[in-house]
Chain A
Amino acid sequence: MSVEMPEQNSITAPEPTAETATYWDAADEGRLVLKRCLGTGKAFHPPRTISPFTGRADTDWIEAEGTGKIYSLSVSRRQGTEHCIAYIELTEGPIILSALTQCDLSKAEIGQPVHVVFEPCANGRRVPMFTTVATD
Chain B
Amino acid sequence: MKNKAFIVGAYEHPTRDATDIPLAQLHAEVAAGALADAGLSLADVDGYFCAGDVAGWDAPGCGPFSMVEYLGLNLRHLDTTESWGSAYINHVAHAVQAIETGKCRVALITQAGRPRAERKSPAQMHSEQTQSAHEAQFELPYGPVVTNMYGMVAARHMYEHGTTPEQLAWIKVAASHHAQYNPNAVLPKVVTVEDVLNSPIVATPLHRLDCCVISDGGGALVVVHPDVARDLDRPKITPIGAGFTVKHLNGGYFDILASGGVKSGAEAFAQAGIKPQDIQYALIYDSFTITVLVQLENLGFCAPGQGGRFVAEGNLISGVGRLPVNTDGGGLCSNHPGNRGGMTKLVEAVRQLRGEAHPAVQVPDCHLALAHGTGGQLGSRHGSATLVLERV
Chain A interface residues (CB < 8 Å from chain B): 1-6, 11-17, 19-20, 24, 37, 42-46, 48, 51-53, 71-77, 83, 85-87, 90, 93-99, 110-111, 121, 127, 129
Contact = CB atoms under 8 A, between A and B. Distances in A.
Interface string B131-162: 00011111111111111110111111001000
B143 A72 contact: no
B203 A121 contact: no
Contacts of B142: 11, 85, 97-99, 127, 129
Contact of A94 (B149, B202, B251): B251
Q: DSSP majority for the A interface?
A: loop
A136 B61 CA distance: 56
13 contacts: A4-B124, A5-B145, A15-B136, A15-B137, A42-B251, A45-B138, A74-B147, A76-B202, A76-B203, A85-B143, A87-B256, A93-B253, A99-B141
Given A46-B134, A110-B159, A127-B141, A74 B148 contact: yes
B123 interface: yes
A96 B256 contact: no
Interface size class of B (residues with CB under 8 A): 35 or more
Interface string B156-171: 1001000000000000
A22 to B, nearest CB: 13
A72 B153 contact: yes
Contacts of B211: 1
Contact of B121 (A2, A11, A85, A95): A2
B277 interface: no
Given A85-B148, A94-B251, A111 B159 contact: yes
Nearest to B213: A1
A99 B143 contact: yes
Contacts of B154: 74
Nearest to B124: A4
Given A52-B250, A71-B256, A74-B152, A46 B138 contact: yes
Contacts, number: 139
Contact of A5 (B123, B134, B152, B201): B123
B70 interface: no
A93 B256 CA distance: 15
Given A13-B141, A45-B138, A72 B202 contact: no
Contacts of A16: 137
A2 B134 CA distance: 27
B256 A72 contact: yes
B214 interface: yes
A13 to B, nearest CB: 7
A73 B140 contact: no
B251 A53 contact: yes
B147 A1 contact: yes
B215 to A, nearest CB: 11
Nearest to A37: B251
Ranked nearest first, the 3 interchain pairs of A and B with the lowest CB-CB distance are A94-B252, A74-B151, A44-B251
Given A12-B141, A85-B149, 11 more contacts: A1-B122, A1-B208, A3-B123, A3-B202, A14-B141, A19-B134, A43-B252, A46-B137, A71-B256, A72-B153, A73-B152
A16 B138 CA distance: 9
A45 B251 contact: yes
A95 B156 CA distance: 13
Contact of A14 (B140, B147, B149, B252): B140
A53 B379 CA distance: 21
A121 B121 CA distance: 23
Given A45-B251, A71-B256, A76 B134 contact: no
A5 B153 CA distance: 19
Contacts of B123: 3-5
Contacts of B252: 43-45, 90, 93-96
A83 B143 contact: yes
B204 interface: yes
A3 B145 contact: yes
A74 B135 CA distance: 20
A62 to B, nearest CB: 13
B152 A85 contact: yes
Contacts of A12: 140-141, 143
Contact of A110 (B139, B144, B147, B155): B155
B137 to A, nearest CB: 4
Contact of A95 (B143, B202, B254): B254
